[in-house]
Amino acid sequence: MPKLDLKAAEYVADRMPMIGVGTYQVQSQSVLTDTIDEAFRLGYRFIDTAQIYRNEAILGRILPDLLEKHSLKREDIFITSKVSPINQGKGKTSKSVLKSLTDLQTPYIDLVLIHWPGTSRLKSNHKDNAKFRAETYVELETLMDEGKIRSIGVSNYEIKHLETLLAECRILPAINQCECHPHFRNSELAEYCKEKGIHFQAYSSLGGPSYVENLLKDKIIKKIANAHSTSPAVILLAWGLNQGYSILPRTEKVGRIEENWKAKDIKLSEKEMKEIGSIDKLSKSCWDPTVVV
């Protein structure tokens, strides 16, 4: 295997904060304005979006005023977006990223990920999934060479997908963004990423939308939260941070923005980490990439 270019990974290591504002399912301009306004006030400098979230244009409209309000410049914040599964493949990827740049009203995007290892309108077991995601990554490498994006990576990639990518790419993917929480620890994948120099980023740290209450009511999580005089949600976020994972808490409630921010100050003991690691549950609450060839 040829030596891979580390410039994407180095950019992320140098520039990306460990806590970002997740914007999944948030398409209200007023809600986005209020939550990002509060986030900037508290010290957040990282926004995670995606083409499929359909809010890039909204972010592009509101960010200039919010940056000015908080005396920030574009280079003070880190923006991640993701190539939609429908935009995978030669030619389509570049066109979609250029549209993201226009919608976000920015000269560059800090990080662009392949959102999903499969391609829309193809069955999960179709061999062309691998072909289209390979073509997508090549186009992202070119866009990075051109300075339109500063780093590249993937999302929802399993070990099998990463092994194929690492055998073909020339720029090491900076990040693999995946579901991860105490009921779905994804430890083998996280360890593989660590071995390969790929940063592991957790989404749905509280579980998917229909699963959140299961984690918030977990007896071990509640016990540890009480010991730290905080909420179960903060402990769930801190669990990821304590392992070196970056996190992307998403909320439409302004008050939760500050609560989530407190996770960075929670240091869990070795005993507490072992207790959380002993939770005997395996509940994936989001889509399953293992079925994609």
Annotated active-site residue 211? The verdict is: no
List, as residue ranges, the binding site: 115
Buried b (16+ CB within 10 A) or exposed e, 165-178: beeebebbbbbbbb
Angstrom distance (rounded) from CA 2 to CA 170 = 8
Radius of gyration of the chain, Cα coordinates, nearest whole angstrom: 18
Beta-ladder partners of 58 = none
List, as residue ranges, the binding site for substrate: 115
CB 211 within 8 A of CB 166: no
Cα–Cα nearest to 32, from 57, 7, 15, 9 = 57
Angstrom distance (rounded) from CA 119 to CA 109 = 22
**Catalytic residue (choose from 11, 24, 44, 53):** 53
Q: Give the dihedral sign, CA 226/209/240/32.
A: negative
Cα–Cα nearest to 48, from 14, 27, 20 = 20
CB 78 within 8 A of CB 111: yes
Q: Which residues are catalytic?
A: 53
